[in-house]
């Protein structure tokens, strides 16, 4: 992958919790955040490694004009 997500939550392997890869955007869209995660393959070390945990891709956008938040969540297919 190229770079890393804005926020990564990677619990210990023996915990039954998902890995969270979160990309934040400001005044753009949650789709753009999700596309960046996929295009730059921020998940590659978790998909290709020995992590048994599920991986959730999360794109979040804040619109400063409307003060709305958008959030997209996808489970990575291993």
CB contact at 8 A, 32 and 61: yes
Q: For position 14, what pLDDT does the model report?
A: 87
pTM: 0.91
In-domain check, residue 2: no
In-domain check, residue 68: yes
Domain count, the chain: 1
Domain that holds residue 20: 7-75
d(CA 50, CA 64): 40
Chain segment 17-69, per-residue pLDDT in tens: 999 999 999 999 999 999 999 999 999 988 877 778 899 999 999 999 999 99
In-domain check, residue 15: yes
In the three-class reduction of DSSP (H, G, I as helix; E, B as strand; rest coil), residue 15 is classed as: coil
């Amino acid at each position: 992958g190229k770079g890393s997500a804005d926020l990564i939550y990677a619990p210990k392997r023996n915990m039954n919790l998902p890995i969270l890869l979160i990309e934040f955007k400001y005044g753009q869209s949650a789709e753009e955040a999700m596309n960046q995660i996929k295009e730059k393959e921020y998940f590659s070390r978790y998909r290709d490694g020995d992590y048994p945990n599920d991986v959730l891709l999360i794109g979040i956008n804040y619109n400063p004009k409307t003060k709305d938040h958008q959030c997209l969540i996808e489970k990575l297919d291993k």
